[in-house]
Amino acid sequence: DFNERLVRAISNYNTQIVVYVSTLRNSKLQDIEVFEEQNIITYKAYFPHSKYDLLNFIRLIKLYLKIFKIVFEKYGLPILVHNYVFFPSGIISIYLKHRYKLKTVLTEHWSIFNYKNNINHIYTHSLYKRKLYSLILKSFDTVISVSKSLEESYVTFSVIIN
């Protein structure tokens, strides 16, 4: 809801293109859906969920790249890329930042950094994943947090992991 409200507010000033890629159990690989409403253009694509994380990751990356190719050919390069979660879409942001020299912004919502009362907090993940998360976080030009406690958690994480 927060993301939608933000996009709607900004769309009063500039056209917004939203890209959404996700896994969906029992789905078949399907075409990309495009929805246009006022100054908001939304691209959605789903791929079938696999029990193999690597396969899910490859499908996700391929669909993101396919959609961005379509978007860039049709509308040109954007001013910036704004993510609402850093992983795994942050990997695409790193690619877009280096390939097209785009600015990247992250508005972080994920409570994985907040280890208080969270059984899936960041420190339960493997060292490899924590290093990857840190690399992705540092790659953004601007990071905005939805709360002060979340900001303190990911800042602490970034300092500790390095």
pLDDT, tens digit only, all 162 positions of the chain: 677 888 889 899 989 999 988 888 777 776 788 999 989 999 999 888 888 988 988 999 999 999 999 999 999 999 899 998 888 888 999 999 999 999 999 887 766 766 665 666 667 778 888 888 888 888 999 888 777 777 777 666 654 443
pLDDT for 131: 85
- Nearest CA to 111 among 146, 70, 79? 146
Burial 85-106 (b: 16+ CB within 10 A, else e): ebeebbbbbebbbeeeebebeb
Separation CA 111–CA 136 (nearest Å):
16
pLDDT for 162: 36
DSSP letter for 146, please: S
pLDDT for 36: 94
